[in-house]
Structure 1
Amino acid sequence: MDKTLLKGLMVLESITEAENRARTVDEVAARVGLTRSNTHRTLQTLMHAGYIEKDVNNGYRGTIKLMGLGVRQLARLDVRQFAAPFMHALADATGETVHLSVLDGIDVVYIDKIDSPQPVRAYSMVGGRAPAYAVATGKALLAHAPEGYLARYAAQLTLHTPRTAGTLAALEAELAQTVRTGYAVNTGEWRDGVGGIASAVFDGLDRPIAALGISGPIGRLPATRIAELAPLVVHNANQLSLAMGARCIPRAA
């Protein structure tokens, strides 16, 4: 084991643990259990490498270079690699088809799924698309889209069934409800007779990166069943968010 490298990493971790302030040499030394001179040499090495900097009060803090390392690592996390246990938990608990979706413009793309064992089930395919504003996973993601995102696509809103929210105002009202409850519902808005429940998944920067949800025939998803299953959907989406490095658990159902 390279003890010098280990000391350097310990010092670097100590610097990044201090929220919204720099740490002095003495604070870092006490934190990692090194002598002051050893700590100072390690700090100088990290400064030379560009990972920390000294402020006007001679305190040490991380640089944007250090932040860049973390952001690049977060970008490498493939949500599909982490989603499997939560998708299987939902599939086992509900008996319905489970979808993992991402947002692409005004559509969602299904990036993974587990089919329901039921003879009558929701039809979809990995790589398939659906209008985000008319399916549960899409609405779960649109509810957390940046301000002005929906307005760019207002002209593309189409009535696929009589239940589709065909105006921006109607959709925004529904998405506000999704934010409050933590989950979105589809009541046959994309395909007649097919409904769903979904909740957003967040990454280590607390950005919505995917949505986890279930789909099935409306006959198996009446309001009472939705109320029963929504907490399960939200719980598994929350746990996936934590696995992806989210700093806090989103709102529960």
Structure 2
Amino acid sequence: MSGKGADPLSTKPAEEDRYRAPALDKGLDILELLSGIEGGLTQAEIAKALGRSPNEFYRMLDRLMRRGYVTKTDGDRYALTLKMFGLAQLHAPTRRLASFATPRMRELATRTQQANQLVVFDRGAAVVVAQQEAPGYWGISIRVGSHIDLFDTGSGHVLLAFATQETREMMVAETTPPGAPPRAMPAELADRLEQVRRDGFERMDSLQTVGVVNLSAPILGADGHAIAALTVPYLPQVDAEGTPGVDEVLADLRDAARVLSGFTGWNAATGPQG
């Protein structure tokens, strides 16, 4: 009923249903359900939780898998991938993070006389979302938007080390190119990541550029897990007296990462960073 005295809110459900898209609703129901489940659910469990027949979800689950939003784990269980997380990282949250980070990155470059970059995870790769060049003549510059490997870079090590085990496994799975056999993380890398987590940073010789030492520290979210890595590709300068050494640069880098972590709600008193 819609007389003059009727409560206008009483018509809201009917107006919402007028433009229903059942297939879209079904897909969103699945994504929202799986977002709160660790370890995934079977097709039957999804149907039971949503009060529908299992056959209703077969095609939808297939499409979500083909589009990269859902993956199969443990044989017949469905779980979310990191695709939605990656999309969010490259949208407004990443821009805000880069906006907060830029002044601190500029200060870090001035203090260390070295370039630095901000890196996040996105769909199987570490992606540079902000970059600050060295103030002097020499420095290592990496273009914003560059994709770098998780396994053989300091930024990748930090992003993996400061992730939950489940998230780490999903990150590794997403490094596998379409149609290729699943990529596995080398056992020695797993040991290295544990060391990185204990130390609170990565310090390693660059596997891409001779003479460069990659220094990387995590920017931690409120849950203590990395939302980004702040990295200095340290380049020794033999002709510049008084420039900071690698240990001093590492200390400045970690201080900057702690400051940026504070903007996310991370608590320095309880966080895992060393």
- Band the TM-score falls in, shorter-chain normalisation: 0.5 to 0.7
Offset, 1:156: 6.2
CA–CA separation in structure 2 for the residues paired with 1:192 and 1:156: 25
CA separation of 1:175 and 1:88: change in aligned 2, threshold 3 A: same
Opposite residue 132 of structure 2, the aligned amino acid is I
Residues 172-192 of structure 1, C-alpha deviations (whole Å, 9 max, x = no match) = 121111111111123022333
Opposite residue 230 of structure 1, the aligned amino acid is L
Match of 2:267 in 1: 247
- CA RMSD between the two structures: 3.1
1:213 aligns with 2:214: no
Contact 1:181 1:251 in 2 (8 A): no
Match of 2:65 in 1: none
Offset, 1:88: 1.7
Offset, 1:140: 1.2
1:182 aligns with 2:203: no
CA–CA separation in structure 1 for the residues paired with 2:167 and 2:111: 34
Match of 1:83 in 2: 101
Structure 1 unmatched ranges of 5 or more = 1-71, 158-165
Contact 2:121 2:127 in 1 (8 A): yes
Question: 3-state DSSP class of the match of 1:122?
Answer: coil
1:93 to 103, 111, 118: 111
- TM value normalised by structure 2: 0.53
CA–CA separation in structure 2 for the residues paired with 1:155 and 1:107: 8
Q: Percent identity?
A: 22
Question: 3-state DSSP class of the match of 1:134?
Answer: coil
Match of 1:4 in 2: none
Match of 2:209 in 1: 191
CA–CA separation in structure 2 for the residues paired with 1:87 and 1:119: 18
CA–CA separation in structure 1 for the residues paired with 2:164 and 2:150: 15
**Within-5 A mapping of 1:52-201:** 77=93, 78-151=96-169, 153=172, 168-201=186-219
Residues 90-126 of structure 1, C-alpha deviations (whole Å, 9 max, x = no match) = 1111111110110124421110011113333213100
CA–CA separation in structure 1 for the residues paired with 2:174 and 2:227: 24
- TM value normalised by structure 1: 0.57
CA separation of 1:98 and 1:155: change in aligned 2, threshold 3 A: closer
Structure 2 unmatched ranges of 5 or more = 1-87, 177-183, 239-243
Contact 1:150 1:168 in 2 (8 A): no
1:226 aligns with 2:226: no
Question: When the two structures are aligned, how many residues end up with a matched partner?
Answer: 169
Contact 1:187 1:218 in 2 (8 A): no
CA–CA separation in structure 1 for the residues paired with 2:235 and 2:124: 24
Contact 2:110 2:135 in 1 (8 A): no
Match of 1:238 in 2: 258
